[in-house]
Structure 1
């Protein structure tokens, strides 16, 4: 992932963190906020006593029994994880499970199942979590209802959860609504956003999005463009063409794969128009990309926005970067794929929109073909002199990723046009998309595109067969894939080769690989195992992890009692008492944001350790140096999956490496969740 250290603005050798805060009134309670955003499918948690008897740590109550706090589908595998911490910040909260565990119906106290937990790996301590673990399988409990897992001897229990085939529907609504909260230039009314997160439309003032200046010619009024709309990328407010395109493709693929997962009742402004709200949300992003496309077919690479809390308080100017090959290729890909999905809708306006997108896709392809090496490294003076300060994350691609983007665009263009130019390119380059050791969590997107090509009726049968055979073979035989599941490598039931920045996105992409395996393997037993494995990665995000924490923000309204209470975000910053953290009197961040997750590569900024006499000593003598003196263990000095802290301190504490959300994380999670959201 891209480092966020570029958020620091260097002025006269002094590093300052710029934060424009707006402290609002504290009148609206968290309960009012949650009820304001509740959908018809919401079931707010009332389980305030789940933590009774548990020890407390820096991340809150230290759980001994963890479950998916939203719940499980009726016929699914259901396994509670019982934990005895041996290493890490919670090692003093040791727990010896009793011989009898019960599944108890919450409303009646009825015991519906009793049994003994089974030790994981013969009682060994897991290096990845530092825990000794037992599994309690209650898959045979299939009666819909609300339950908890109880250790009879200690009377300690899990948080409550539901068993219901529609248990993930309310989760999906909040997950998709995250994009609404991230919209730039859109008013968030009390009706749509909830009273606690209402805000005027942002970035519409003089010199802002409707009047965006060129970064390369800031004073040239003839180059001003109307680039309103789109989504804030992450905790920052910048907008990136390639990443927006990827997110839209994921949203549309989620819908295309399971339309029944999505309704028209998500309480966004377009709700009730007869179009599934996920398509309305995708169109919001597409409209911005259309504005980013030049008349010659090229697409601008990035738009830089100013930050404040709330977003409407931002007054700084907006700038755009130049067109690039990579941005234009991703524009071609998303326009073509969106044309395919939207043209199948019955609404004439969407069909007309799809036809226009098809033209835009072909125009973008033509420009990128004629201009195959136009690069721009934003916010990087070393590689692109003069670019420092234009947005934050680095959006430019290397040669391999640019080739993958061209392949993806060719596949979708071939699908909607049948033109052999695109088909021949895809056929000639399919072996370059996923490396020989893949697929892995890092190249799941490329694998998805390959398999998309393999579904096309007019694609080469030889190539289709090669793609499918290679994918199934590697997924079932690669030691880092299905064998990890079969061999029970992870006590928290979601094994993953690499645990690093953005681990929750990696969990989602790994789930997606198993969903694809379930679709393409000819072996029904492998398909069932793969689908069950995919669900375990969602359970991890929903609380089956060493923290027992739902890694989605503020989800009590959707049934999770112990969900992320804070995150790194310019709107929900630590300078805001109202939005910084969920509490009994403050609403905290908006619901449904997937945070980055445990990150064993986390570190405070190097300036915390700069020697006396160097320019960076005491972080350039900044008052923010005081953050260096705090203890950050966790996330430091922990087993990998405990490398997490609920904090949102900025530079030099750099909490964005752990708790920052991202529309990329969100889109990957929605895609992984979509097959289960009935």
Structure 2
């Protein structure tokens, strides 16, 4: 396995640039032009760091002073060279485009054309009416994005995905040009907002028009084989309403409305009425242990026994949108006991914190102090963990299913702390999380398909398996020390946590993809472009 590891995509000229050297005895290193072999920089390493998560002893080489655009490698005598990487101000443009276009290629209920989809094109899929579980009632829930390696569509996953993408647009709208090669390209609406709207239109169909509650998901009863989406023809089933789906639906729509107000006021009105009705429905929704798959359905459950953080986000986001004291009081009641954190589908408190702190209506100074103090403490914990890790990330030895999502989300939390504390150490740590996902990790792999010298070739993603070629621009889940699938057990038993990853399509716990893993990575890229 390679001894010298960097971000395989590359760096902007003024980025902090650090190479990892594992289990080496050398003390000096150089940076060479990968085309000519000419040495352009030489320095000494720092360390060592005993890295428990990867069972390695690591030293680090900082080459931030190399700023001239070009293609380079890091070299150490007796240990070879790193994979090549690029230094350029626009180094992340190609990967951003593929990460974004994944959403178009994941569209459900519409033809993905040969012109725009290439080998992943398909006719309209999942166009039949769906049956509400336990009834004979059928409804139209066409549209949206296929959630992951399968073809289900899930509200809680959709909500956090939309939120991350909207925040990416808010932080750096200039990078989301009007031509990402989707059907709506070159219209008056930026492509990112057009793509997100495709998901929002589907989410609106998932609301019960009578009660205002929101159905948890729509899938078939079981997962299909490794077929293209139009080949999954089993009955579509709409799962029951859940608190988490209803609350995140409220929050997501409330967040989205200001982004579309310039382009389509009628759409915004529809979203506002739907969000308001869903909020009212929450008064009558009480599900003790959260959503559980009904009998006979074995697709993704997205179970969450704690729904307080979803209500917290919904209240904060509705208050930010409307200034209505009803939502303010609801939020204050929820923050009295604890400050919630998290940018994942299961823990969404950080979205609520951001909404409240950025509201233009009166906010409670004591609540603000409580939230910011807690956010700073959370960020400091992540920073300390990052500084003690050889690869600069904040997971310690805890690599869960979807650990790459945790890496990306923790990077966003570190940026939150950077904006609160104005301390560049947090921003450097956030960038290290991005570098990890793009190649500076114990597996020495760019975890994004189709980008980097080494990247996943066999993701758990049905179109990729069906076409025998990985769709480019998908962030895979990454190491999972729980070994939650048979392939992982067979290949990874006894491996250190950060190396519990296998590039095999049967390893759904380490090598699947999802819409809500791409989204925080897009957000991180937006911050560093």
TM-score with structure 1 setting the length: 0.73
Q: Given that residues 378 and 388 in structure 1 are in contact (C-alpha distance below 8 angstroms), is that contact kept between their aligned partners in structure 2? A: no
Task: Confirm whether residue 233 of structure 1 aligns to residue 91 of structure 2.
Answer: no
Match of 1:540? Answer: 436
Task: For residue 563 of structure 1, give the secondary structure of its aligned residue in structure 2.
Answer: coil
**Is the Cα contact below 8 Å between 2:213 and 2:241 reproduced in 1?**
yes
The corresponding residue for 2:125 is 202
User: 2:485–2:508: 8 Å Cα contact kept in structure 1?
Assistant: no
Partner Cα distance (2:281, 2:64) in 1: 55
1:160 is aligned, of 78, 84, 88, to: 84
Higher relative contact order (CA 8 A, sep 6+): 1
Return the alpha-carbon distance in structure 1 between the equivalents of residues 438 and 8 of structure 2.
6
Match of 2:389 among 474, 490, 496: 490
Q: Which residue of 2 aligns with 1:659?
A: 511
CA drift at 1:105: 2.1
**Correspondences of 1:79-90 after superposition (within 5 Å):** 79-84=18-23
CA–CA distance in 2 between the matches of 1:235 and 1:439?
A: 24
1:332 is displaced (CA, Å) by 1.3
* RMSD between superposed Cα atoms in Å: 2.4
Change (3 A) 1:184 1:442: closer
After superposition, the C-alpha distances for 1:300-349 in whole angstroms (9 at most, x for unaligned) are: 22111363511122221211123233322222111111112222x3x2xx
Task: Kindly indicate whether the alpha-carbon contact (under 8 Å) linking 1:144 and 1:162 is maintained by their aligned counterparts in 2.
Answer: yes
Cα distance in structure 2, aligned partners of 1:246 and 1:159: 34
Matched, 1:455 2:358: yes
8 Å Cα contact 1:455-1:464 kept in structure 2: no
Equivalence for 1:3? none
Q: 1:444 to 1:604 in 2, by over 3 A?
A: closer
1:648 aligns with 2:529: no
- The 1:647/1:471 distance shift into structure 2, 3 A limit, reads same
* Counterpart among 569, 572, 579 of residue 461 in structure 2: 569
Counterpart of 1:134?
59
1:603: how far off?
4.7
Structure 2 residue aligned with 1:509: 409
TM-score, normalization by structure 2: 0.93
Distance, in Å, in 1 between the alignment partners of 2:512 and 2:131 is 28
8 Å contact 1:553–1:566 — kept in the other structure? no
CA contact (8 A) 1:442 1:506 kept: no
Superposed displacement of residue 120, structure 1: 2.1
Residue 200 (structure 2) aligned to one of 286, 294, 298: 286
Which residue in the other structure is 1:268 paired with? Answer: 182
Aligned counterpart for 2:490 among listed residues 632, 638, 656: 632
Are the counterparts in 2 of residues 63 and 547 from structure 1 also a CA contact under 8 Å? no
Query: Which runs of no fewer than 5 residues in structure 1 stay unpaired?
Result: 1-61, 85-95, 380-386, 580-587, 606-626, 650-654
Shift of 1:442: 9.4
Task: Give the corresponding residue for 1:467.
Answer: 371
Identify which range, 499-508 or 314-323, moves more after superposition.
314-323
Deviation string, structure 1 residues 112-131 (Cα, Å, up to 9, x no partner): 1112333423xxx4221122
> For 1:134 and 1:374, how far apart are their aligned partners in 2?
50
Higher alpha-carbon deviation: 287-296 or 269-278: 269-278
Q: Tell me whether 1:368 sits opposite 2:282 in the alignment.
A: yes
SS in 1 for 2:523: helix
1:377 Cα deviation from its structure 2 partner: 3.9
Give the SS at the match of 1:538. Answer: helix
Instruction: Give yes or no for the alignment of 1:414 onto 2:319.
Output: yes
Distance 1:318 1:604, change over 3 A: closer
**How far, CA to CA, are the matches of 1:131 and 1:244 in structure 2?**
38
The whole-number CA distance in structure 1 between the counterparts of 2:413 and 2:71 is 31
Aligned to 1:174: 98
Cα 1:512–1:432, aligned 2, differ >3 Å: closer, same or farther?
A: farther
Deviation of residue 227 (structure 1)?
Answer: 0.7
CA contact (8 A) 2:291 2:304 kept: no
Question: How far apart, CA to CA, are the structure 1 residues paired with 2:290 and 2:239?
Answer: 8
Tell me if the contact between 2:17 and 2:62 (Cα under 8 Å) persists in the aligned partners: yes
Query: Within 2, Cα distance between the matches of 1:591 and 1:288?
Result: 25
- Structure 1 residues 662 and 474, CA gap change in structure 2 (3 angstroms): closer
**Distance (Å, rounded) in 2 between the aligned partners of 1:601 and 1:396:** 18
In 2, the alpha carbon distance for the partners of 1:353 and 1:440 equals 26
- SS of 1:529's equivalent? helix
Q: Structure 2 CA distance, aligned partners of 1:160 and 1:189?
A: 35
How far off its partner does 1:518 sit? Answer: 0.7
* 1:602 and 2:489 correspond: no
In structure 2, distance between residues paired with 1:604 and 1:361? 38
Contact 1:67 1:81 in 2 (8 A): yes
CA distance in 2 between partners of 1:359 and 1:516 (Å): 31
Gapped regions of structure 2 (runs ≥ 5) = none
140-149 or 321-330, larger mean C-alpha shift: 321-330
User: Pairwise mapping of residues 103-142 of structure 1 onto structure 2 (< 5 A)?
Assistant: 103-121=31-49, 125-142=50-67
Residue pairs, 1:18-29, within 5 angstroms: none
1:406-440 deviation line (CA, Å, top 9, x unaligned) = 221111211221111001111221244546xx679
Distance 1:656 1:433, change over 3 A: farther
1:461-518 per-position Cα deviation (integer Å, ceiling 9, x unaligned): 3322321133224433xxx422233xx3111121314222111011011101101001
Question: Which residue number in structure 2 is paired with residue 143 of structure 1?
Answer: 68
Say which one has the larger Rg: 1
SS at match of 1:453: helix
Deviation of residue 258 (structure 1)?
2.2
CA distance in 1, matches of 2:359, 2:145: 31
| Cα pair 2:153 2:217 within 8 Å, conserved | yes
Q: 1:474 to 1:493 in 2, by over 3 A?
A: closer
